[in-house]
Each structure stands twice: as structure tokens, then as C-alpha cells.
Amino acid sequence: MAKLVYDKEGRLLFTKEMAAEYTVLVPQMLPIHFEFITKALSLGGLNVEVLNTTHRGIIDAGLKHVHNDICFPALLVIGQMIDALKSGKYDVHKVALMITQTGGGCRASNYIHLLRKGLIKAGYDFVPVISLNLSGLESNPGFHMSLPMISRLICGVVYGDALMWLSNHSRAYELNVGETDALVKKWTTKISDEMKHTRLPNRKKVRENLLGIAKDFGNIKMGGEPKPRVGVVGEIYVKFAPLGNNNLERFLRSEGAEVVVPGLMDFLIFKVDNRVEDSIIYGGKAAKKAVAKILRDYIIGYQNLLRECLSAADGYPVPARYGDIKEMVRGFLGYGNKMGEGWLLTAEMLELIHSGVNNIVCTQPFGCLPNHIVGKGMMRPVREANPTANIVAIDYDPGTTSVNQENRLKLMLANARKALERQQAGEHPSTERQYEQAEQTERETVAR
């Protein structure tokens, strides 16, 4: 068993010896993306396993080991990790946990400290916790973010966004059910195998793979009547994680909707771009601003490549550029509004509406005040500027039942279907009538 080593502040370190012997558990957030992200981490010398558990015991574990006024994503992530340690599946003396830290004002940067307190309370103080961050918040002898790893992680996000974006559209219209899932599996396996033999991602190879993905999805036979398109925005964890949103995407598809989820690339660029905006608003070191610009432009370059290749898939929409999304939110929120998802959440609602997706689910976790401000708090200004918008905010917390959430979603979908029928019939209601309908929908929803 590896020797336990602590730093000067008493923090248990993840050592090189542990890296060779331990299994590192990672909470699930994006099922497709995390295939590539965990592969990138594994190539850095870690034995990584993603936790895909979704049972009620996770919430109970979170409530027991984290105080009950913490935000819902923290409760779920910490609960999932402690539940895994208690499951008997792992040798708890050869397990480490990994969690992200953004370094911003969001409480997510402090999840790691809550997790350590929870581990002590549960009797697992000997389990090391690894911080995955680009801000220099914590370091460990057995893990560091090398340039090849960062490059692989970025490419993993590119591939994940491509497959998520294309599969969400094709899954709604595929004539041969299961063809989409088979393609996702084919390409995740192929790319994961390629990553093992490449130290630094090759842009030419990434382009080749993306074009191959676009061609394959373009060949899927699709048909059927048009379906209402429903966008999903919100706090990043409950927006993406099936555990966090009660399998929201699956429910929307079961109700006959096409799901549209803005990708992770925009959030990644947003977090780096914030460093540039900080220097503009508050000042700071020129070198720091220059490094942030280089990294931002590097990621934007890959986003442009992604958009170029997705346009090769016949019949599929293409996501907007980050710069265009940033311009859309001008006049709604300032660029200094960056806590949590900041102005990006509002911008994603506007992006969806501008691309013809008027029906939007805004996922709101308990305890995330910034998200409520830029999400639920901005719904009225967004509607005033876009009267046809059909937006519903869905709350997620330990005590909310799925029945309550689904009833509110069904009301939004009923309005979405009516709007689609009017559109197909060639009707064009006045913008005033549309806005009144949206307001009435929200009042009815709250009353329920």
C-alpha cells in the first residue's frame, strides 16, 4: 500500500506511487465527451474510471455528508463519489478521486474542500483527492497537466461536441433505430484507439476524423414529420449530466422532440476569454493577458474547424461561432458577468432562438444564485426581444419530484407543438399575441 504523504497545510497528496497503483474515480457529466477526456487522462499515466451510477442512494449520501444548503451539483458529485466508496466495488485503500476547479467565483471551486470534509465524516480521510485545473490552485506529485494532455483534452471536447451535436439531430429522425448509437460507438472507439498512438494531436488528422464523422452521419437515412426543436441550457452540470437533470434529454425525445444542446466548446472558450476580459476591465499583467489570448485563439481555431467539418453533413444544422454568440448578448449583460455560466447562459438562449430553436429548457439547480440570475432572471428580457420564445425554467434539487418537472416540461412541449402546427399551416400570429401566450404559459406553470 502506498505511503500517505501530506503537504505543509496537511493536505493528503496524490503521489507518483499512487499513480501507478490507484484507480482514479471521476464523476460523469457528458457521456460522449468523457470517453475522450478519460482517455486523455489515462494516457497521462492514470487508471481512470467514470462513475455512471444514477440511483437515489447518491442523493442520500450527498445529504448525509454535505450540509443541505450547498448547491445541488456539489451534493450529487460528492454523493456519487462517497456512494462509490461505500459500494464495496473498490479497494478503498487504492482509490483516488478527481474533481475539477475553475478558479472563479463560483462555489464549484470549493467543491474539493467540501468533498474532503465529507470523506473525513464518512471515514475515508485516507483517500486522496486530485484537482483538475488550469489555474495552479493545487498540485500533486503524481499528476500534472502537461501540454500534450491539455491538447488531447481540447481535442476530446471537439470530438465530443461533434458527436453530440450530430447524434441529437439524427436520433430524432433516423429510420433505422439504433444507427445513430452505432455510429457514436464506432467513432468513440476509433478515436480513442488513435489517441494511444499520438503524443500531440495532429490538426490534419482531427480534420480528417471530423469529416469522416460528418460523412457517416450524412449517410443516415432519415424521415418523418418535423418535430419541435427544444434547446437545453443552464448550469453546466445539470445541463449535461443525466444524473443531474433526471435524464432530461431522454424524456424530451420520448415526448417527440428534437433535442438541441449547445456544446462544451463555448464554455471552454468562455472560461479562457474571461481572463482576457478581466484584463480589459480591471487591468493586470500583459503577459497573463497574452497567454490567455493565445489559448483562447487556439481553442477557437478548433471550433472553426469543427464548424467547417459539420457543414459537410448534409441536412444538419451548424452551431454558431463563439464570437457571434458573444455579440448576441451585447445589450443584455456585460462581459464582466462571469460567475458560474455568466453571460454565456443568456447568450446560449439567444443563440438557440436566432437559429430557430424557440423552445428552451433552462435547467436551474438549487443553491446556484448566479445561474438563477443569468438564467431565470434574464428570461423576461429575452422574451421581450424575442416574443416567440417559449422558455421554461426547471428546478433541480433533492426534494423535487420528476413528476413535477415532467408536468412543466409537458406544458412547454404542448405550446411547442401548437407553434409548429401554426408554422406548418402558414399562420403568423402577431408578436404581441405570442408574448402574451408566453407570459400566460409561465403563470400557469408557476401555479401548478
CATH of the domain at 87: 3.40.50
Q: 101, 116, 144: which is the final residue of a domain?
A: 144
Is residue 337 a contact partner of residue 303, using CB atoms and an 8 Å limit?
no
pLDDT category at 411 given cuts 50, 70, 90 is very high
What count of Cα atoms within 13 Å lies in the side-chain half-sphere of residue 266?
A: 24
Say yes or no to pLDDT of 44 above 60.
yes
pLDDT over 90, % of the chain: 79
Grid cell, residue 243, equals 444524473
Number of domains, the chain: 3
Residue 6 lies in a domain: no
Burial 143-171 (b: 16+ CB within 10 A, else e): beeeeebebbbbbbbbbbbbbbbbbbbbb
What's the rounded mean pLDDT across residues 126-134? 92
pLDDT score recorded for residue 401 = 83
Given 118, 144, 170, the domain boundary residue is: 144
Which band of pLDDT confidence, cut at 50, 70 and 90, is reported for residue 441?
low
Contacts of residue 421, defined as CB under 8 A and 6 or more positions apart, other chains included, come to none
Q: Which amino acid is located at 324 in the chain?
A: D
Shared domain check, 186 and 133: no
Residue 220 has what DSSP assignment?
A: S
Containing structural domain, residue 279: 146-224+264-318
Q: How confident is the model at residue 102 (pLDDT cuts 50, 70, 90)?
A: confident
Name 428's Cβ contacts closer than 8 Å, sequence gap at least 6: none
pLDDT of residue 442: 53
Same domain, 126 and 220: no
| Final residue before a domain boundary, out of 128, 144, 160 | 144
SS3 343: helix
Q: What is the pLDDT of residue 431?
A: 41
Quote the pLDDT of residue 211.
Answer: 98
Predicted confidence band at 67 (pLDDT cuts at 50, 70, 90)?
Answer: confident
Same domain, 21 and 140: yes
Q: State the average pLDDT for the chain.
A: 91
Say if residue 84 is in the same domain as residue 125. Answer: yes
- One domain for residues 165 and 113: no
In this predicted structure, the answer to whether residue 71 has a pLDDT above a threshold of 90 is: no
- One DSSP character per residue, 97-153 reads EEEE---SSSGGGGHHHHHHHHHHHHT-TTS-EEEE-SS-S--BTTB---HHHHHHH
Give yes or no for residue 274 having a pLDDT over 70: yes
In this prediction, residue 433 has a pLDDT band, given cuts at 50, 70 and 90, of very low
95 shares a domain with 169: no
Torsion angles phi and psi, residue 178, rounded to 5: 105, -10
Average pLDDT over residues 344-353: 97
CB 207, CB 309: distance < 8 Å: yes
Confidence of residue 60 (pLDDT cuts 50, 70, 90): very high
Give the model confidence (pLDDT) of 140-166 as tens digits: 999 998 888 999 999 999 999 999 999
Segment 381-409, tens digit of pLDDT: 999 999 999 999 999 999 888 899 999 99
Flag whether pLDDT at 435 surpasses 50: no
Band (pLDDT 50/70/90 cuts) for residue 93 is very high
Same domain, 154 and 283: yes
- pTM of this structure: 0.91
Residue 2, in any domain of the structure: no
Q: Is 196 found in the same domain as 176? A: yes
Residue 76 lies in a domain: yes
- d(Cα 295, Cα 145) in Å, to the nearest integer? 14
Please determine, for residue 430, whether its predicted confidence score (pLDDT) is greater than 50.
no
Are 117 and 106 members of one domain?
Answer: yes
Q: Is there a single domain that holds both residue 303 and residue 359? A: no
The radius of gyration of the chain from alpha carbons, rounded to an integer in Å, stands at 22
